[in-house]
């Protein structure tokens, strides 16, 4: 099971809307994440920077599956206005991924 | 068990030294972390930004204990030149902490 982390940036003025949405994630959205094989999924925030950390067998396959899930598409449509555009992506990156440089079980 | 995350910034030019050190963390340093009650400790890096994520019963107590451990003090002395000075700390913060705004088991 891979531990995966990536970054997102919240738009100025949207922090409270983001936090509030994530206090009330739809149960069917939680189920969609679970069905895609995602677990131990934490989202950490400081100021406008988000770091999303999760465990998944295959991140690309899971995100591909979520990309076809109507519940997730509806969720992403609601969340999209809260995010800054992605910048600095490397070739083939879906998000600004973080590399795990240390792990202690 | 709390999930805790905080940020550090590597100095320009020190990324490779940081990564290399963390491929070879001293066994006695790993033991010091374990003895302080730390587990599932990942360090994620993108460019110069580090996000350190761990599980611990009481972060302040664990860091207080590490602060008296000679092995950890020796490790921190070796690592210190690789980090930018901490900025933007809030009152009472030891590090720039990140708040967990979402968790899915």
Residue B31: predicted pLDDT:
98
- Tokens standing for B93? 């913060």
Torsion of CA A29, A30, A33, A35, to 10 degrees: -100
Q: Between chains, do B102 and A5 touch, taking CB under 8 Å as contact?
A: no
pLDDT in tens, A16-37: 999 999 999 999 999 999 999 9
Residue A1: predicted pLDDT:
87
Q: A32, exposed or middle or buried, with CB in 10 Å at 0-12, 13-18, 19+? A: buried
A94 touches chain B (CB under 8 A): no
Residues lower than pLDDT 50 in chain B: none
What CATH code would you report for B2-98?
3.30.70.1090
Segment A75-95 shows an average pLDDT of 96
Residue A4 CB partners (closer than 8 Å, separation 6+): A53, A54, A55, A56, A59, A97
Q: Which of A2, A3, A19, A22 is catalytic?
A: A22
Q: Between chains, do B43 and A100 touch, taking CB under 8 Å as contact?
A: yes
Residue B75: predicted pLDDT:
98
Hey, which CATH number is domain A2-85+92-98, 3.40.50.300, 3.50.30.30, 3.30.565.10, 3.30.70.1090?
3.30.70.1090
**What band does A46 get if pLDDT is binned at 50, 70 and 90?**
very high
Residue A43: predicted pLDDT:
98
CA distances from A41 to A83, B61, B87, B93 (A): 19, 25, 28, 25
Residue A13 has a CB neighbour count (10 Å cut-off) of 9
φ and ψ of B55, to 5 deg:
-115, 135
Residue A99 has a CB neighbour count (10 Å cut-off) of 10
pLDDT at A103 over 90: yes
Q: Domains of chain B: which residue ranges?
A: 2-98
């Amino acid at each position: 099971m891979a531990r995966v982390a990536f970054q997102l940036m919240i738009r100025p003025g949207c922090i409270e809307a983001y936090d509030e949405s994530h206090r009330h994630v739809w149960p069917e959205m939680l189920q969609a994440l679970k069905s895609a094989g995602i677990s131990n999924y934490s989202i950490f925030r400081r100021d406008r920077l988000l770091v999303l950390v999760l465990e998944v067998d295959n991140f690309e396959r899971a995100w591909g599956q979520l990309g076809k899930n109507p519940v997730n598409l509806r969720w992403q449509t609601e969340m999209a206005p809260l995010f800054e555009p992605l910048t600095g992506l490397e070739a083939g990156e879906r998000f600004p991924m973080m590399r795990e440089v240390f792990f202690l079980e």
